[in-house]
Amino acid sequence: MKFTKKERQKLLLDTLDKTPFITDEHLAATFKVSVQTIRLDRMELSIPELRERIKSVATHSFGEEVKSLPIDEIIGEIIDIDLDKQAISLLDITKDHVFARNGIARGHHLFAQANSLAVAVINDELALTRKSTITFVKPVKAGDRVIAKAIVVSSDMQKNTTLIEVTSKVENDTVFVGQFSMYRVTNS
């Protein structure tokens, strides 16, 4: 179905209100228009690009919550966090994240996303990684969006340690799994 510009822009606003982290490419496919048309619509409606929308949501929603490191030091963008319970971040893999010869993402980017999310979920002023066990399950390529979910498995406040499991997925496929034993310091 073809929409008029006015109809499309209204639907675009509605769609972004419900799913603010949708890409321009996905919007273009949804409305059967070019990516450039979506970008022009966003500009006319003063809607920032995806990265800016994510940063805005993260800064306004989570900037005050995260205690263990500054929000701008987190690798990826936090889209949900419940301190000492769970957190979710996303990382869009660009050509800067991949090996030139094969287009596969360098592992340290996936590790950094998972590790910084494990630090961020800790509800203390200081959290450090004591030990990690990681598994790269499947290659990630440029253009992929990696969604990492950290879940606090256990905490031992006597020993100042917390165990966190992080699973990273592209679409519904698991690409990375890690267990992070974290050292935490409470300033209370």
Domain that holds residue 138: 64-185
Pick from 101, 110, 182, 117: nearest CA to 140:
110
The answer to whether residue 52 sits within a structural domain is no
pTM to 2 decimals?
0.67
In a domain, 58, yes or no: no
Q: Are 148 and 113 in the same domain? A: yes
Q: Coil, helix or strand for 172? A: coil
pLDDT higher than threshold 70 for residue 168: yes
158 and 100 share a domain?
Answer: yes
Instruction: Give the residue-averaged pLDDT of 171-185.
Output: 93
Pair 42, 99 in one domain:
no
More confident residue, 187 or 20: 20
What mean pLDDT is predicted for residues 143-169?
Answer: 93
The predicted model gives 130-157 an average pLDDT of 94
> What integer pLDDT is reported at residue 148 of this predicted model?
95
* CATH number of the structural domain spanning residue 15: 1.10.10.10
**What domain count does the chain have?**
2
- Tell me what the mean pLDDT of segment 100-121 comes to: 94
| pLDDT recorded at residue 1 | 75
How do residues 31-62 score in pLDDT, each as one tens digit? Answer: 999 989 988 988 888 887 766 666 555 544 44
CB atoms within 10 A of CB 4: 8
Q: What is the pLDDT of residue 60?
A: 47
Element containing residue 110 per DSSP (H, E): helix 107-120
Residue 56 lies in a domain: no
Do 70 and 35 lie in a common domain? no
Domain containing residue 181: CATH number:
3.10.129.10
Half-sphere exposure of 146 (CA within 13 A, CB side): 33
